[in-house]
Structure 1
Amino acid sequence: MWVILMLVLYFIMTNIYLYGLDQSNILDIFGPYRTILAGSQGSLMHLGIGPIVTASIIMQLFVGAKIIKLDLTDDQDKSVYQSTQKLLVIVMIIIESVPQVFGYLTPSPSLVSGLDGVVGSTGLISGGTLAAFIIVLQLCIGSYLVFLMDEVISKWGIGSGISLFIAAGVAEAIFTGTLNWNSVNGGDLSLSNPPAGTIPKTFYYIFNMSSAQMASGGYESILLQPPNPMIALIGTIIIFLFVAYIESSRIELPLAHGAARGARGRYPIKLLYASNIPVILMSALLANFSIVSLLLYTNPTLEGIPLIGHNDWIGMYPDGTTTAEGGLAWYLSTPNGLSGWLLPILDPAQYGSYAYGHTPLQVIAKVIIFFGAMVFGSILFAKFWIMTTNMGPESVARQIESSGMQIPGFRRDPRVLKRVLERYIPVVTVLSGAIVGALAAGADLIGTVGNASGTGVLLAVGILIHFYEAMGREQMMEMHPMLRGFFGGE
């Protein structure tokens, strides 16, 4: 019930728009990464879970790299860690809220003029400054409410609030992208302005086009052309099923207790050993590069920096857009499904505008660079994550040895355990990073309905599977011990 209540509140907050915001003049620098941040543009959830995730990653990296020396097995140190992380979340909320208003979330002229009549239009506190402060305050309140909702789910619900909000945002994007019957550009429906959702769009074309029209371009529009083509829906379903399959793939090392006879167990090494963390970090890195290149190209102060300011080689952004149309930022940007790369390669004369006028060779290079960066970067982040979170062979060997368990047939010694684990963990780590990177990049290349992004779909599937397993464990705890054993519980 707590989970359901928090999810309802989350969806309500995504539909409460910021008071005093000029909705027609929003430059959303986080637009391509909305599903990962579980946010909604221009609403109380504009920042989403960004501040919470950023604070969590900073603390985990600092503790894992021993920059902050805390023993998380000690209750007092764990309390210090959690308190510091909560304080850092508040700091990150403020840090991420303030820059949003100056140049990207513009207060409406009516609010500014109304406040000018109260406090004046000049001086330290003018109407414009006060209007910006009101928007910043709303962003801070919305982000802090998300933080409290995450705490409620973690303490009284099931699973993690952050994970559930990501899955909810992705589910919403997929649902609306599949079933949205409103027209693409608003107004009345027509063949040039069809429904935005995949299924309504498909039926509208079938019932309103002649056979000749379907053959001359209707099938192409249904299958390949944005928004939400049928190929994107099929790709989303395939990715969902494939990730659900590989999530259950694992190697289980048999364990036996050294002192208690008959006490046995298993240590599972999952194929996705590093989970989805590597692709999250890689996506965050590409997002940061995109944001920095956007600021260097469009910000009046930063574009004057020698060599890198307003440099087309780094990233080219025409006025009023947040999508790179050239430079390195374009090569590293997420493709917009098949229409963003395959159609411009096959027919550059007709679909070249989808690739912003780049030649087929440049589009092919973009696909190779983007796919390679996602796979290689995810492998590096997987190895880094394993080393800094005590999931490497040496750390796992110490954990198994301290629990009194050992691998049957091997001497009880951490060094022996380490050599056995080194046969599996390093290889599985590389495979894990490569698989999640390739899946996320492949989903982006095929396209996903609702612009959920490959990373978003990948995260949502893993989150839902873990949530289902957590619900199963909760039900097992309420069963009679005999029934619990029958269903595989302990």
Structure 2
Amino acid sequence: MPGVLEALAEISKYIPAVEKPARRPSLPTRLMWTGIVVLLYLIMSEIPMIGVKTAGPTASAALSYLLLGMNLGTLMTLGIGPIVTAGIVLEVLVGGGLIEMDLTKPRDRKIFMGAQRTLALVFAALEAAAYAFGCRFWLQPGAGIGACPVGLDVKILVIIQLVIATLVLMWFDELVRNGWGIGSALSMFIVANVLKGMFWQLAAPVKYKGEYYGWLTQVLFNKDPAILRLGMPDMIGFLATISIIMILIYLQLMRVYIPVTSPRYGSIKTRIPLNFIYVTNIPILFVAITVSDLQILANIAASISGPDSIWAKIFAYMYVYMRPPRGLLDSVQDPVHLATFITSWLALGLLFGFIWVEVAGLSPRHQAENIIKSGMELPGIRRNVKLLERILARYIYPLTVISSLIVTGIAILADFFGAYGSGSGLVLLVGIIYSFYQSLVYERTLEMYPALQRILGR
């Protein structure tokens, strides 16, 4: 398996990439490039593909369209799905021990990133081929695949457009990550889509079954308080959105402190802060995208072999029972769906939480090594990595369990009450914005004190 990754990484050398700037641009310039990248992404999500006349659901239509930034029939038909899915697959393989790699080592990290770039384009090509040869964009509902009204040339053209669009998104992300911008472009795309979905749920001026879809427009124009509405934004969801955001902000600021001393500096005592939300928002991102991929796989299977095929039904049933409910009324109407949703999300959240801790260098072993390298030690504990690892495991593993369950539980609670932007979307929104704020503070501090850049090797 490592040989496969090395082969994929070798192929990635022939895929054009964005180089790091010779000199790091100023903070305003980097903010400008980040904004431009997000704007170009939003524009691409509205540009129809050549050979496809009609676009599909907007980004607010379903969980997959919201978090993966998909808009069927446009250049963003696949969204960020292939890129994120490639990362999830490789991280699960590495975190599960199926591939022996140490991502703290520069060589292994380079191979991992190269393999991810190649695998993302492979996934993009496979998904695009399934959509095109399944005639997803041209068939009328109920028509057989043999009745597809376009030829092979149009299908190949669509595949090429979608693969190139995925490559452009990879360039956008590399441009931001490599120092031209701030943060992660993929994270900014998720924020843009969640905010767009929240706006439509709050103030969409369109009607559905005689009612305005947006809650605020319903209240203003139909003079209806809309306290509860089946499958549509309502007052309960609005209040839940505000409450969930406040809870998430509070949790982001909570810390768990581990006391340490430094023998190098006269045994000065200090504390190492660990985020209470130790796993950050990554597990809920993995869970949401895993569930979203089930819907995509169901659509692809239905396009290729028809809606009655066994695989189309399996993926469709899995998605139906694992998808988030659409508000309080939808939750209580189907207890089986609600129970399956809660159980599967909590289990997956816990699984991805432990995987992320191992992959991201947050495990007790990695933290123990970092403490020893920094010259710190726990009071009364000799400088031994294995001994220190056992002590830290008492903090880190319970914190991983608690934070994974809390983050996933908040997302579940938000979906139960119909919070705008979906529960997973809100968790990601608050986490990404808070991380972006920390990056801004860090970069601003470096600009104010240039000496710090030399100390940090910048």
- Same fold judged by TM-score > 0.5? yes
Aligned to 1:431: 402
Confirm whether residue 232 of structure 1 aligns to residue 241 of structure 2.
Answer: no
CA distance, structure 1, for counterparts of residue 63 and residue 166 of structure 2: 20
Aligned to 2:219: 202
Q: Which runs of 5 or more residues in structure 2 are unaligned? A: 1-31, 141-145, 454-458
Distance 1:74 1:278, change over 3 A: closer
Aligned to 1:180: 204
CA distance, structure 2, for counterparts of residue 107 and residue 270 of structure 1: 49
1:261-285: CA deviation from partner (whole Å, max 9, x where unpaired) = 3766543222211122222222333
1:187-234: CA deviation from partner (whole Å, max 9, x where unpaired) = xxxxx633322211111122xxxxxxxxxxx44x45434432122222
Aligned to 2:393: 422
Question: Conserved in 1, the CA contact under 8 Å of 2:261 and 2:377?
Answer: yes
Q: Which residue of the other structure, out of 453, 460, 467, is the alignment partner of 2:429?
A: 460
Partner of 1:41: helix, strand, or coil? coil
Matches of residues 159-308 of structure 1 in structure 2 within 5 Å?
Answer: 159-181=183-205, 183-185=206-208, 193-206=210-223, 218-219=224-225, 221-261=226-266, 266-292=271-297, 300=305, 303=308, 308=310
Question: Conserved in 2, the CA contact under 8 Å of 1:39 and 1:45?
Answer: yes
CA distance, structure 2, for counterparts of residue 328 and residue 149 of structure 1: 33
1:373-430: CA deviation from partner (whole Å, max 9, x where unpaired) = 2123212222233234432223321222133221234322223322321221111111
Question: Conserved in 1, the CA contact under 8 Å of 2:64 and 2:293?
Answer: no
Partner of 1:424: helix, strand, or coil? helix
1:78-98: CA deviation from partner (whole Å, max 9, x where unpaired) = 333332322222222212221
Partner of 1:269: helix, strand, or coil? strand
Question: Conserved in 2, the CA contact under 8 Å of 1:255 and 1:265?
Answer: yes
CA distance, structure 1, for counterparts of residue 435 and residue 312 of structure 2: 45
Q: Which runs of 5 or more residues in structure 1 are unaligned? A: 110-120, 186-191, 207-217, 316-323, 345-362, 485-490
Question: Conserved in 2, the CA contact under 8 Å of 1:254 and 1:264?
Answer: yes
- What is the alpha-carbon root mean square deviation over aligned residues? 3.2
Q: Which residue of the other structure, out of 354, 357, 364, is the alignment partner of 1:386?
A: 357
Partner of 1:341: helix, strand, or coil? helix
Partner of 2:79: helix, strand, or coil? coil
Distance 1:438 1:104, change over 3 A: farther
Q: CA deviation at 1:293?
A: 5.3
Question: Conserved in 2, the CA contact under 8 Å of 1:159 and 1:467?
Answer: yes
CA distance, structure 2, for counterparts of residue 176 and residue 483 of structure 1: 44
Distance 1:285 1:84, change over 3 A: closer
Confirm whether residue 338 of structure 1 aligns to residue 337 of structure 2.
Answer: no
Partner of 2:137: helix, strand, or coil? strand
1:140-168: CA deviation from partner (whole Å, max 9, x where unpaired) = 12111111111111121111111111111
Question: Conserved in 2, the CA contact under 8 Å of 1:38 and 1:48?
Answer: yes
Q: Which has the larger radius of gyration?
A: 1
Aligned to 1:5: 36
Partner of 2:264: helix, strand, or coil? coil
Matches of residues 121-132 of structure 1 in structure 2 within 5 Å?
Answer: 128-132=151-155
Confirm whether residue 146 of structure 1 aligns to residue 146 of structure 2.
Answer: no
CA distance, structure 2, for counterparts of residue 9 and residue 167 of structure 1: 14
Distance 1:482 1:384, change over 3 A: closer
Partner of 1:21: helix, strand, or coil? coil
Query: What is the one-letter code of the residue matched to 1:337?
Result: G
Q: Structure 1-normalised TM-score?
A: 0.76
CA distance, structure 1, for counterparts of residue 301 and residue 167 of structure 2: 30
CA distance, structure 1, for counterparts of residue 312 and residue 105 of structure 2: 50
Q: Structure 2-normalised TM-score?
A: 0.80
Q: In the comparison of the two structures, how many residue pairs are matched?
A: 414
Q: Which residue of the other structure, out of 368, 376, 379, is the alignment partner of 1:405?
A: 376
Confirm whether residue 40 of structure 1 aligns to residue 71 of structure 2.
Answer: yes
CA distance, structure 2, for counterparts of residue 27 and residue 168 of structure 1: 13
Confirm whether residue 473 of structure 1 aligns to residue 439 of structure 2.
Answer: no
1:108-161: CA deviation from partner (whole Å, max 9, x where unpaired) = 89xxxxxxxxxxx9xxxx951111112212211211111111111112111111
Distance 1:135 1:481, change over 3 A: closer
Aligned to 2:120: 89
